[in-house]
Amino acid sequence: MAGENIVTIDEQNFGQEVTSATTPVMLDFWAPWCGPCKMIAPALDELATEYKGRVKVGKVNVDENQNLAVKFGISGIPAVFMVKGGEVIDQVVGARSKKDFKAMMDRAIS
């Protein structure tokens, strides 16, 4: 499901991969049964490659990581959060365009 530049985030590696990250992290909360999640995956794969080293892209399977879903107040997926310095600085719920996700990344690194 995830491209080579996308990190699978779970409750075990969340602190290391997200809280302690030196770059902003885009978190994609998804599930295998979610159609819109599959629709945005190619755009996130492309952006993960384009922004490698500047923004980390991580995917969180909500079925397998319910504590993280609760922590972020996930009520609908896909839900994409931008985390910088351990704090949520941006978020969108629902399928969006690659342009929208790119804009989130650009705001996070500016």
Query: In whole angstroms, what is the distance from residue 2 CA to residue 8 CA?
Result: 7
CA 33 to chain CA mean position, Å: 17
- CATH code of 6-109, in short, is 3.40.30.10
| Catalytic residue list contains 34 | yes
Of 83, 86, 28, 35, nearest in space to 59 by CA: 28
With 60 as the cut, is the pLDDT of residue 1 above it? Answer: no
Catalytic residue among 2, 9, 18, 37: 37
Structure confidence at residue 4 (pLDDT): 85
Confidence of residue 2 (pLDDT cuts 50, 70, 90): low
What is d(CA 26, CA 105) in angstroms, rounded to the nearest whole number? 8
At 51-88, the pLDDT tens digits run: 999 999 999 999 999 999 999 999 999 999 999 999 99
Amino acid at 2: A
The whole-model pTM stands at 0.95
Listed in sequence order, the DSSP H helices in the chain are: 14, 35-50, 66-71, 98-109
Catalytic residue among 6, 34, 79, 104: 34
Q: What percent of the chain has pLDDT over 90?
A: 95
Residue 3: pLDDT over 80: no
